[in-house]
Chain A
Amino acid sequence: MDFSLLSKYGIPFAPFKIAKSLPDALSASKEIGFPVVMKAISPQALHKSDIGGVILGIGDAKEAEGAYKTLEQRFSGMKLEGVLVQKMLGRGKNTVELIVGGKRDAQFGQLIMLGMGGVFVEVYRDVAFRVCPIGNDDAIEMIHELKSFPILMGARGRKPANISSLASALVRVSRLLEKENPSEFDINPLLVDEHGCVAVDVRLL
């Protein structure tokens, strides 16, 4: 699973468990503590939310059972390898959704990307790229380069995001990219607020 890769490189992520059956999913949910999120694990579910592969805000055991069954139903025609049960992180008023990614370039090797997240990333294209490896200074520069930088700095009465933990996460992702050399890589979203940052979903190709 791609999350184990994050822990290997010290990139913080939301706690999760993988369930292969309904009883599994129920005990995982209780262990993690409600509210949770369930995500279908399937090779067909690349953009999971587009095909209803993600169910948010599961508040108790009864809802967990319903959610699991719904996923089974939605993926009845496809390969469902399991369900990922994850702690649902509250998006407070200071939370900003970012995307951090990587791509192998034929000329320069691994590129690292930082961008504003959300479903419209491709529309806004508020992104910054660097060639790996990057250091802390490069990471800070990338953060500065975003048009949305003022949002991270607490525009409109928000608390400023924890820039140093974000920079440190970027440097760690750069290390991951250099070592694992994936063709493409996404952490989407990476949530950041005044306390720190945490990866919610990750994909490695």
Chain B
Amino acid sequence: MVAKPIPKKVKNLDAVFNPDSIAVIGASREPNKIGHVIVKNFIDGGFAGRIYPINPRAEDILGLRAYKSVLDIKEKVDSAVIAVPAAAVAPVLEECGKKGIRGVVLITGGFSEVGNSEAEKKLAEIANRYDIALIGPNCMGVITPGSRVDSVFLPIYKLGRPRVGNISFISQSGAVGGCIVDLAARAGIGMSKFVSYGNAAAIDECDLLEYLYHDPDTKIIVAYLEGVKKGKRFLEVAKRITRKKPIVVLKAGRSAAGAEAARSHTGSLAGASEAYSAAFKQANVIEAQTLEQLFDFAKIFDQVLPSGRRIGIITNGGGMGVLATDALADEGLALSQLSDETQKLLRASLPPYANVRNPLDIIGDADSHRYEIAINAMMKDESVDVIMLIILFQTAGIDSSVVNIAIRASDLRKKPIISVCSGGEYTEMHKRILESYGVPTYVSPTSAMRSISRFIKYAEHYSKYNTAHSVLQAEKERQ
């Protein structure tokens, strides 16, 4: 299958996410104005490129020289953020086109979301004429932690910014997107890109997916959707992407479906949510049902893909092992049968009262060293495809060094390591550290197992497709 060339406007999203220079159109001197917060966030966030505030009535803003129009700037400008009133948007967008600006984030609302579709069509027409990658209108902006691009108009002290990572997150809703970014930042989850894309006048969810598919900094794609613009195209694009990168989606607006009276049985059983779920299944998109699940499912993909569905469980609390086993059964996963060799080794190194079967209970008096022995044993054992590390930080024997052991094991990238830490503030602190070093950490065995099962299902699909593909490829080369 020959891939279609990527449209120029989609390629130009580079200018949105990684610009060398940026104009803020509608920059303001008043601290409560959006146009002020955006300039301030670029400065405070440490953006290394040039920042050009645009304001026809100001000499300087936050110490930077202000310009009347982007056309007055002599140097090249890659990207612009627009936050002027709706009526003033079209002319400044036109100026961006003339200036050769390739990427625009249009914050301003008051278009199709309030029935003003004509004005929005005109914006799309301008953007398409100049091949501008136009995000919005009616959106909250873009964050690229790596290049310190941050056009989100919420103050940094109110909305935490995530560390650099490899999850990219697209959100139709600005409010929900903002919340999730804030939560991810606090949990220690890293992001490559965040984009709130609003009304999607010129760049829609499929364009963004297409861009992220080709983006080397994105390993995992997360999407919050209320609807897609073109169902069939979404299905085609998503199906192609999931062969290489996982997509996790939360589709909102499930309940509105089925309200309309249907006449046949199928009609009464099929609402819009069934259509979406069916499409997600066919495209191997991982569907989350709640906000919590969205990043629970996504963050696990930081780990190497598992080669099977057998789980090895290590715990310092027997009860947690039982809960994990229940959750494992609910998800249809298998418990590893530890080899005789592993059991012998464990019996020799662990205290005699430890249970050397799976779940491997290293007992409430376990210290970090015992975790190390257990992890090493499971790393070597062929019967273990995924290691679940349950750490109860409440016990006397456990200290912070167990975190290093877990991170080191995860960094080997031999087998996926997933940890479960349930508890209060002390536990949370360690959970954040684990998370920020790429060890996905869950509050309960249930939520961990649920994520593991999505992970395994994706891995099965991935290897099935890619094995078949490489066989075909090799056959072609032989001919």
Binding site for B on A (CB under 8 A): 46, 99, 101-103, 105-109, 111, 113, 115, 121-122, 125, 127, 129-131, 138, 141, 184-186, 188, 203, 205
With an 8 A cutoff between CB atoms, is B156 at the interface? no
With an 8 A cutoff between CB atoms, is B266 at the interface? yes
> Is A122 a contact of B278 with CB atoms below 8 Å?
no
> Is A108 a contact of B235 with CB atoms below 8 Å?
yes
> Is B263 a contact of A111 with CB atoms below 8 Å?
no
Question: Which of A107, A129, A203, A205 sits near B270, CB closer than 8 Å?
Answer: A129
> Is A129 a contact of B263 with CB atoms below 8 Å?
no
**Segment of B225-233, B315-323, B345-353 engaged in the interface with chain A:** B225-233
> Is A111 a contact of B270 with CB atoms below 8 Å?
yes
Contacts A131-B275, A184-B264: A103 and B270 contacting too (C-beta < 8 A)? yes
Q: Which residues of B contact A130 (CB under 8 A)?
A: 278, 281-282
Q: Bound complex: CA of A152 vs CA of B389, how far in Å?
A: 39
- Which residues of B in the span 42-83 have a Cβ within 8 Å of any Cβ on A? none
A-B contact pairs, 22 of them (CB 8 A): A99-B266, A101-B266, A101-B267, A101-B270, A102-B266, A103-B264, A103-B267, A107-B230, A107-B231, A107-B275, A108-B232, A111-B274, A127-B274, A130-B282, A131-B231, A131-B232, A131-B235, A131-B275, A131-B278, A184-B266, A186-B265, A205-B267
Q: Which residues of B contact A184 (CB under 8 A)?
A: 262-264, 266-267
> Is A121 a contact of B265 with CB atoms below 8 Å?
yes
Q: Which residues of B contact A99 (CB under 8 A)?
A: 265-266
> Is B231 a contact of A109 with CB atoms below 8 Å?
yes
> Is A122 a contact of B269 with CB atoms below 8 Å?
yes
Q: Which residues of A contact B276 (CB under 8 A)?
A: 107-108
Q: Which residues of A contact B329 (CB under 8 A)?
A: none
Q: Bound complex: CA of A115 vs CA of B267, how far in Å?
A: 13
With an 8 A cutoff between CB atoms, is B272 at the interface? yes
With an 8 A cutoff between CB atoms, is B18 at the interface? no
Contacts A107-B231, A108-B232, A129-B274: A122 and B279 contacting too (C-beta < 8 A)? no
Main secondary structure of the interface of A (DSSP, over half): strand
> Is A131 a contact of B279 with CB atoms below 8 Å?
yes
> Is B282 a contact of A131 with CB atoms below 8 Å?
yes
> Is B270 a contact of A105 with CB atoms below 8 Å?
yes
With an 8 A cutoff between CB atoms, is B293 at the interface? no
Q: Which residues of A contact B277 (CB under 8 A)?
A: 129
Q: Bound complex: CA of A46 vs CA of B235, how far in Å?
A: 34
> Is A127 a contact of B269 with CB atoms below 8 Å?
yes
Which single residue of chain A is at the shortest CB-CB distance from B274?
Answer: A129
With an 8 A cutoff between CB atoms, is B404 at the interface? no
Given contact pairs A99-B265, A131-B231, A184-B264, enumerate 19 new A-B contacts (beta carbons under 8 Å).
A99-B266, A105-B231, A105-B275, A107-B230, A107-B272, A111-B274, A111-B275, A113-B270, A122-B268, A122-B269, A129-B277, A130-B282, A131-B278, A141-B281, A184-B263, A184-B267, A185-B266, A188-B265, A205-B263
Give the number of residues in B that approach A within 8 Å (Cβ atoms): 24
> Is B266 a contact of A109 with CB atoms below 8 Å?
no
Q: Which residues of B contact A185 (CB under 8 A)?
A: 264, 266
> Is A138 a contact of B267 with CB atoms below 8 Å?
no
> Is B269 a contact of A113 with CB atoms below 8 Å?
yes
Q: Which residues of B contact A138 (CB under 8 A)?
A: 282
Q: How far is the CB of A106 from chain B (nearest CB, A)?
A: 8
Q: Which residues of A contact B228 (CB under 8 A)?
A: 107
Contacts A115-B269, A127-B269, A129-B275: A109 and B264 contacting too (C-beta < 8 A)? no
Contacts A107-B231, A107-B275, A108-B235: A113 and B266 contacting too (C-beta < 8 A)? yes
> Is B263 a contact of A109 with CB atoms below 8 Å?
no
Q: Which residues of A contact B272 (CB under 8 A)?
A: 105-107
Q: How far is the CB of B454 from chain A (nearest CB, A)?
A: 16
Q: How far is the CB of B231 from chain A (nearest CB, A)?
A: 4
Q: How far is the CB of A158 from chain B (nearest CB, A)?
A: 23
Q: How far is the CB of A11 from chain B (nearest CB, A)?
A: 15
Query: Interface code B241-279, partner A: CB below 8 Å = 1, 0 otherwise?
Result: 000000000000000000000111111111010111111
Which single residue of chain A is at the shortest CB-CB distance from B268?
Answer: A122
Q: How far is the CB of B384 from chain A (nearest CB, A)?
A: 27
Q: Which residues of B contact A111 (CB under 8 A)?
A: 270, 274-275, 278
> Is B264 a contact of A108 with CB atoms below 8 Å?
no
Q: Which residues of A contact B231 (CB under 8 A)?
A: 105, 107-109, 131
Q: Which residues of A contact B262 (CB under 8 A)?
A: 103, 184
> Is A109 a contact of B278 with CB atoms below 8 Å?
no
Q: Bound complex: CA of A113 vs CA of B265, how far in Å?
A: 10
Q: How far is the CB of A15 from chain B (nearest CB, A)?
A: 24
> Is A109 a contact of B270 with CB atoms below 8 Å?
no
Q: How far is the CB of B328 from chain A (nearest CB, A)?
A: 20
Q: Bound complex: CA of A200 vs CA of B230, how far in Å?
A: 36
Q: Which residues of B contact A186 (CB under 8 A)?
A: 264-266
Which single residue of chain A is at the shortest CB-CB distance from B283?
Answer: A131
> Is A121 a contact of B269 with CB atoms below 8 Å?
yes
Q: Which residues of A contact B266 (CB under 8 A)?
A: 99, 101-103, 113, 184-186
Q: Bound complex: CA of A86 vs CA of B274, how far in Å?
A: 34
